[in-house]
Amino acid sequence: MTARLGWARSVLLILLLAMLSACSSIPKAGPVGTIEATAEAETGPRFVNNPSPPRDGASAGEVLDGFLVAGIGVSDNYSVARSYLTPSLAQTWEPEEEVTIYRSDFKISSTPTEGQLQLQVEVAGYIDAAGIRRNVGPGTTESMTVQMEQVQGEWRVADIPSGIMISMADAANLLQSHELYFYSSSYQYWVPDVRWFVNRQGIATNIVTALINGPAPYLQGAVTSAFPENAALAVESVPIESGTATIDFTQDILTGTDNLRRQQMEQQLRVTLTGLDTVNSVELRAGQPIPFERDPNLVLPDLDPAVLSRQIVISEEELAFFEGGQLTPVNDVPSVAEFDPVDPAMSYDGKNYAFLNADRTELMATGEGQTVRTITVGSSLTPPSYDPSNWIWTAGTAEGRSYVRAIPPGGSADNAIEVLTSWLGNRTISEIRISRDGARALIVAQQSGQSQLLLSGVSRSEDGVPQTLSDPISLNPPGAINTAKWVTETSVVVADTSSDESVIATLLPFAAEPDEFSPLEGLEHLSAGTGRTNVFAQKGNSIFGVVGNSWTDQGVVARDPAFAG
């Protein structure tokens, strides 16, 4: 048995769900269980840009070990890793068909069959050929049989699925996250789709290919792409010169699209590729530069839209605004004190409000110049969330199962819509928050005593009516949680609130390590505006703001703060 790579200390968080290939990538079948770390764990990262080729006279186990290590050598199309393979396998092996990220040392052991080895590894996650990442929990292992053969007296790998295996520490050096951008269904907002790519020459080509192939499964139906289904690159390369990326499409792009669609494609490519430091503009070609005429119907979507700096709170049992350490009354709205209000929400224009009664059995709405009306009733209703179109969202429980409802602008219980969530099963939702682009739902759920943080796509009809929440991806919270709020388009803050225990709130970027705030005893509520510096907490009837990682009392008597959304 050979053990080479050490346990990784750094944790790389992102979490996007992949539909895993069963035939052309490292298989997920085989014995699955728990393996113990070896005594060599905690040796830290060992990233090698130029791995060594096979050593003459190396054993079969040493050759397999060397091949796995050489997977991080990306130069010359992984030529060193290919040198560990038989000539025929070296021609067909696809290194980026799937990237398997492992936690602790892989283990290689012999089998009774000559030339056959057993490989076992504790897995942290997978990245498929489209760059979609799926993380798995600790203790998840894979086992596979690897066939070895002798070539001119030297052992070589003869049969192993396509893909490379890298440690979590090496992943931090080898992989790069990148946001692909798609249009919201209304074309008003950019919606990010976080992907992961091997950081090497040609990354722009991989990004463009992934973009024109469409969104990740959980976003399908929730977002729109300007690229037609038959879109393809005429040249499998995206050269970058003087900051301009040139994308050469087949002639179908010219014959199958109009001027507005081509402008939308250019816009989508530009906002996606300028995320690379080397790109500041794009040029579309189809054998020759594609001409554009400014179309008056072209919409310039908002990217990571900001929210108002003021929050809606409950102060002395009435709605109030909180901003800059000051409380001010909400004008031109009726008193809500008789309803014992909790968990208020505010529309993005700051003129409409919703809240629950103390029993969380009624969701009520009001606004400037409006009365208070009940818009839905239920059991264990979650705090309301406005989407950009002023739909109000909540979840509730009936007969032990959760459901999701959306109420249209100005609507009531009579026209509340139950949004299709066929995947919910026996999950119980404790919070649902719609993203600021309106295309994604952040969901905190409990299932079999375990907390889940889920991200689902919001599909709507042509006139914007919510219809379904897609099968979600898991964002892998650090532990038990019962609340989550959007901070940016690709980060959220979570906590397991408690009125009498010390609580650690955690910022979870979709493509970076978690960031913990200082503990706060009795943290009962979280709110989040635009960016990390606009995270707030409630303890008792006091509101605390973040300064660095610490909490500072804002000096007001109020509760249940909430930014717009």
Residue 468 inside a domain? The answer is: yes
Domain count, the chain: 3
Give the end of a domain, one of 135, 158, 174.
174
Note whether 484 and 376 are same-domain residues: yes
* 114 lies in the same domain as 72: yes
At 13 the pLDDT is: 33
Tell me whether residue 294 is in a domain. no
Let me know whether 471 and 546 are in one domain: yes
Q: CA–CA separation, 301 vs 264, rounded Å?
A: 10
User: What does the pLDDT read at residue 19?
Assistant: 31
Asked if residue 9 is part of any domain, the answer here is yes
| 441 shares its domain with 539 | yes
Same domain flag for 39 and 70 = yes
* 488 and 458 both lie in a single domain: yes
- One domain for residues 146 and 196: no
- The closest of 345, 302, 288, 338 to 485, measured between CA atoms, is 345
Residues whose CB falls within 8 Å of the CB of residue 111, separated by 6 or more in sequence, listed in order? 117, 118, 145
**Cβ-based neighbours of 269, under 8 Å, separated by 6 or more:** 208, 211, 245, 247, 282, 284
Residue 232 and residue 363 in one domain: no
CATH assignment at residue 505: 2.120.10.30
Residue 266 falls within a domain, yes or no? yes
Is 330 in the same domain as 193?
A: no
What is the reported pTM? Answer: 0.88
252 with 350, same domain? no
**Beta carbons within 8 Å of 283's beta carbon, 6+ residues apart:** 244, 245, 246, 247, 289
CA dist list (Å): 547 to 252, 431, 451, 553: 54, 26, 28, 10
Domain boundary, last residue among 141, 158, 174: 174
Residues 201 and 240 in one domain: yes
Same domain, 407 and 362: yes
| 466 falls within a domain | yes
- What number of H helices and E strands is found in the chain? 7, 40
- Confirm if 515 and 505 have CB atoms less than 8 A apart: no
336 vs 314: CA distance, rounded Å: 10
483: domain range? 311-562
- Residue 359, judged by CB atoms within 10 A of its CB (0-12, 13-18, 19+), counts as exposed
Indicate the DSSP class of residue 25: B
Q: Which pLDDT belongs to residue 49?
A: 66
Last residue of a domain, one of 174, 201, 229: 174
% helix, strand, coil for the chain, step of 5: 15, 40, 45
Q: What is the pLDDT of residue 15?
A: 32
Whether residue 300 is contained in a domain is answered as: no
Residue 425 is assigned to a structural domain of this protein: yes
Low-confidence ranges of the chain (pLDDT < 50): 1-48
C-alpha closest to that of 53 among 164, 156, 151: 156
Whether residue 305 is contained in a domain is answered as no
Nearest to 481 by CA among 447, 458, 511: 447
